[in-house]
Amino acid sequence: MYERHNLTNGIRLIHKRVKSPVAHFGIIINTGSRDELEHEQGIAHFIEHTVFKGTIRRKSFHILNRLDSVGADMNAYTTKEETCLYASFLKEHLHRTVELFADISQNATFPAREIEKEKDVIIDEINSYRDNPSEEIFDEIEEVVFANSTLGRNILGTKERVENIRRSHIFRFIKRTYHTDQIVICSVGDIDFRTIVKLSERYFGSILPSSRGFLREKPINYQPITVIKPKAQFQAHCILANEAYGADHPKRTTLYLLNNILGGPALNSRLNLGIREKYGFCYNLESNYTIYSDTGIVSIYLGTDFEYLDKTIHLVQKELQKLREKRLGTVQLHAAQNQIKGQIAISNDNNVNEMIGMGKSMLFYDNIEDLSVIYNKIDEIDSSMLLEVANEIFDPTKLSSLIYTKD
């Protein structure tokens, strides 16, 4: 059962009690790379790296040692829409964790010397992505699809932008984008809800209330395009993509199911059975549906030998055509629904995943749906709904393509 509480300053708290000696605590802030101004590119991710480098009370070593010394695991990530700090720990160390996260999130000093050191780390991260075309192509296809939007920018930023980040830039970005109405505290563990409320009020309740003063601009004027880029590598890489439904769209669950049928993680996906297993043309072949608050992107990725590139793309297009033209039978549809429900259940069986999912759901919807509600939505999908979405999203005239090929 999910329990929620709103602090008077607008920060929301969501908690789920589970029987486990390990508990999880996180802070999710509705701020990511799409909220950066042009000269700030990369700063949201940079803050995630440097927020652990010192506070008014603690140096970097003391921050890291505070949880490491009791065997806890502390981590963070940045996406295009959110920044998350979270930790896993033995439940008796909840107080220690909440106090530390409050100190980090409210009192980080971002020492100038640490900022300069971290620039080298992040520039090395940028270079490592450029050395890995199978990862870089996923970032670059969003630059293609969201060309007229901040969503198209790489989360890491560019070498030049990172080098120009200053301490004053960090504080200005935080002041403009980190507001109490955009923060969710999430928790999973064998902890009484009154305890987590009391600690949250104690350590986060004194933050002055603030509201975001800007709205995100939804991407507009998407135009499909084909981009072919020469790269020195051992195989060709290709992504087909289209703009898709956002978190606020009623057809998002249907597309979620359709994408899973096409190229989800299961070995019986259409792409895996119809191309990889049947012809052996490629090892890496998948489709993905990424949801943002107001839009989304569907992408179909393949990596193959140069001599098989055209054949593999043709086979992918044939699979898309089947989804557009042929309804799933009752047995196929039922199997697909059961499969995705099982995947959701397994994902939720990981308490860290569930905690982060709870926090994101609060950010997007200000609500948490029980698994039974999600399952009902999946069961309500019929073959005509899948056909309709397939024709909207996989319309060949709307698909962009990005191909890395030989120099």
Domain extents for the chain? 2-204, 226-405
Confidence (pLDDT) at 393: 98
Q: Say what the pLDDT of residue 311 is.
A: 95
**pLDDT digit string, tens, across residues 93-150:** 999 999 999 999 999 999 999 999 999 999 999 999 888 888 899 999 999 999 989 9
Query: Residue 280: CB partners within 8 Å, gap ≥ 6?
Result: none
Is the pLDDT at 349 greater than 80? The verdict is yes
Residue 45 has pLDDT above 80, yes or no: yes
**Average pLDDT score over residue span 249-263:** 97
Q: How large is the average pLDDT for residues 306-326?
A: 95
What is the C-alpha to C-alpha distance for residues 176 and 199, in angstroms, rounded to an integer? 27
**Contact predicate 303/235, CB 8 Å:** yes
- pLDDT of 362 over the 80 cut: yes
Q: Is the pLDDT of residue 233 over 90?
A: no
Q: What is d(CA 83, CA 104) in angstroms, rounded to the nearest whole number? A: 13
323 forms beta bridges with none
Is residue 358 classed as helix, strand or coil in its secondary structure? Answer: helix
Beta bridge partners of 239: 301, 402
The pLDDT of residue 342 is 94
**Between the CA of residue 342 and those of 13, 16, 290, 347, 351, what are the distances in Å?**
28, 21, 20, 9, 16
pLDDT for res 1: 85
* Residue given tokens 């669950």 in the structure block: 253
Backbone angles phi, psi at 94, to 5 degrees: -60, -50
* pLDDT at residue 300 in the model: 97
At position 379, the amino acid (one-letter code) is: D
The pLDDT score that the predictor gives to residue 384 is: 97
pLDDT at 200 exceeding the cut of 80: yes
Measure the CA–CA gap between 219 and 268, rounded to whole angstroms. Answer: 34
Name the residue type at position 391. N
CA 404 remoteness from chain centre = 24
Single pTM value for the model? 0.93
Residue 189 to residue 25: CA distance in whole angstroms? 8
Confidence of residue 406 (pLDDT cuts 50, 70, 90): confident
Local confidence band at 283 (pLDDT 50, 70, 90 cut-offs): confident
The residue type at 229: K
**CA pair distance 70, 169, nearest whole angstrom:** 35
As given in the structure block, the two tokens for residue 110 are 């971002």
Those residues whose C-beta lies under 8 Å from the C-beta of residue 260, and which sit 6 or more positions away, are: 266, 269, 336, 339, 340, 343
Calculated CA dihedral for residues 261, 265, 270, 273, nearest 10 degrees: -150
10 Å CB burial of residue 263 (0-12, 13-18, 19+) is: buried
Percent of the chain clearing pLDDT 70 (strictly above): 100
Query: Using CA atoms, how far apart are residues 55 and 47, in angstroms rounded to an integer?
Result: 13
Look at residue 232 and tell me whether its pLDDT is greater than 80: no
Q: Count of H helices and E strands in the chain? A: 16, 11
Fold of 226-405: Cytochrome Bc1 Complex; Chain A, domain 1 (3.30.830)
State the average pLDDT over residues 56-68. Answer: 94
Is the model's pLDDT at 90 over the cut of 80? yes
pLDDT-derived band at 402 (thresholds 50, 70, 90) equals very high
First to last CA, the chain: 56
pLDDT given at position 407: 73
Topology agreement, domain 2-204 and domain 226-405 = yes
SS3 label, residue 300: strand
Give the span between the Cα atoms of 41 and 122, in whole angstroms.
13
Contact 244, 297 (CB under 8 A): yes
Q: Which CATH number fits domain 2-204: 3.30.830.10, 3.30.1380.10, 1.10.10.60, 1.10.1040.10?
A: 3.30.830.10
Structure tokens at 23: 């508990």
| Res. 211 pLDDT band, cuts 50 70 90 | very high
- Best CA proximity match to 40, nearest among 52, 32, 51: 32
Band of pLDDT at residue 286, cut at 50, 70 and 90: very high
Q: d(Cα 385, Cα 359) in Å, to the nearest integer?
A: 29
Q: What is the mean pLDDT of the chain?
A: 95
